[in-house]
Structures are given as C-alpha cells and as structure tokens.
C-alpha cells in the first residue's frame, strides 16, 4: 500500500511520515527530496532556473512514477502538490493508495513556521506574525478544497506526534 500525506507546510508530513514508516516497516519518501535527486538541483534552484511551470510538470511526472510502483511507501508531498494539474485525482484514483490530510489550524501553523521561515522560500520575506497569519489563512483558503478530498483527515492540533502516528496506524492497519 502507498500512504500519501498531504497538508500545508509545517503540518508534519515529513516528520510524521518518517515515524509512521518506521512503525509500519515501510519506506519513507519525500516528493521534494525525490525531485531534487532526479533533477540534481534543489527545489528553489529549479524554481529559479527553470520556473514554476517546469517544476509543476516534473512534480506531476515524478508523482505518477512513484504511484505506479508496487512497493509499500509513505510519501510526503509538497503543500502545493495536490493543488496543481490533476495531481489530487492521480492520488485518489491510483491503485492501493490511501491519502491522508494532516490538518493543522492557522495558529498551529503560524507558531511552527514563524521559527523556521528563513528556511521556507515561500514565506522568508514575511516580516511579522500578523502578516504570516494572513498569508497562511489566504493560502489555506485556496488549498483546503484540494486537501479535503483526501480519504482520511487527521486533525493534528494539541496531539503528540506519537498519538497522531498511533491514530493513523489504527485507521490503516
């Protein structure tokens, strides 16, 4: 089975994905890391040198490639992945795939991202917590319609990583 974790940046897709993979004895893959290896460049570099349209085409291509295999994996996709092209349909219609939306509230996302914004090109330019809250709110409003198509929705606010992994595990296995 393939388990696809979707959600906004800092919702815990990679962190929880690694823990879930260990518990399930599955391989963990991060789509952005996979793209970086295949393209021999960081996501930021691909955006800068080849543009977002190129990146989104490659993202869809590599997503299809990963969905075709018959191996058991936990796949963390970028926050924008489900929102472009027909990526969410690909995920929903692929064989032996479960999609999980890791749903975090705006205040939770702000508290996580404010500390790490310099490492996140999309928000590095944002100066204040107020601006970040507004940015995330607007962005989530645009993306949530895609995220909500996931087969399973897990609210992460106020839960430990261990509890979230346990909850996902009990729903899938």
Tracing tokens 């796949």 back to the chain, one arrives at 75
Question: How high is the pLDDT of residue 87?
Answer: 97
How far apart are alpha carbons 83 and 144 in whole angstroms? 9
CA dihedral (105, 14, 73, 6) positive or negative:
positive
Q: How many domains does the chain have?
A: 1
**Is 33 inside any structural domain?**
yes
Nearest of 160, 151, 102, 161 to residue 2 by alpha carbon? 151
Give residue 53's domain range: 2-104+150-172
How far apart are alpha carbons 37 and 6 in whole angstroms? 21
**Is 88 inside any structural domain?**
yes
User: Average model confidence (pLDDT) for the chain?
Assistant: 94
CA 70 to chain centre: 21
Binding residues for Mg(2+): 14
- Concatenated DSSP letters for 43-85? HHHHHHHHHHHHHHHHHHHHHHHHHHS-S-EEEE--TTGGGST
Supply the CATH number for residue 31's domain: 3.40.50.300
**Is 116 inside any structural domain?**
no
The first and second tokens of residue 160, run together, are 């430990």
End-to-end CA distance of the chain: 10
Binding residues: 10-15, 32, 56, 79, 120, 143
**Is 127 inside any structural domain?**
no
CA dihedral (149, 88, 126, 17) positive or negative:
positive
Binding residues for ATP: 10-15, 120
Q: For residue range 163-173, what is the model confidence (pLDDT) as tens digits?
A: 999 999 999 99
Kindly give the confidence (pLDDT) of every residue in the chain, 173 residues in length, as a single tens digit, with 9 standing for 90 and above.
Answer: 999 999 999 999 999 999 999 999 999 999 999 999 999 999 888 888 998 899 999 999 999 999 998 899 999 999 999 999 999 999 999 999 999 999 999 999 999 998 887 677 778 888 899 999 999 999 999 999 999 999 999 999 999 999 999 999 999 99
**Is 119 inside any structural domain?**
no
Binding residues for substrate: 32, 56, 79, 143
**Is 142 inside any structural domain?**
no
**Is 110 inside any structural domain?**
no
**Is 79 inside any structural domain?**
yes
Question: How high is the pLDDT of residue 72?
Answer: 95
């Amino acid at each position: 089975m393939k388990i696809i974790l979707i959600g906004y940046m800092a919702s815990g897709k990679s962190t929880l994905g690694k823990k879930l993979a260990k518990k399930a004895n599955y391989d963990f893959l991060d789509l952005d890391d996979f793209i970086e290896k295949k393209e021999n460049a960081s996501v930021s570099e691909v955006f800068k040198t080849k543009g977002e349209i190129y990146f989104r085409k490659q993202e869809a291509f590599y997503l299809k490639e990963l969905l075709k295999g018959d191996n058991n994996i936990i796949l963390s996709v970028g926050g924008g992945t489900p929102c472009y092209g027909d990526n969410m349909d690909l995920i929903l219609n692929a064989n032996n795939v479960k999609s999980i939306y890791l749903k975090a509230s705006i205040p939770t996302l702000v508290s996580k991202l404010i500390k790490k914004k310099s490492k996140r090109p999309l928000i590095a330019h944002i100066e204040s917590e107020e601006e970040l809250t507004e940015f995330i709110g607007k962005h989530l409003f645009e993306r949530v319609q895609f995220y909500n198509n996931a087969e399973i929705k897990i609210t992460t606010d106020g839960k430990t990583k261990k509890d979230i992994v346990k909850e996902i595990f009990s729903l899938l296995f």
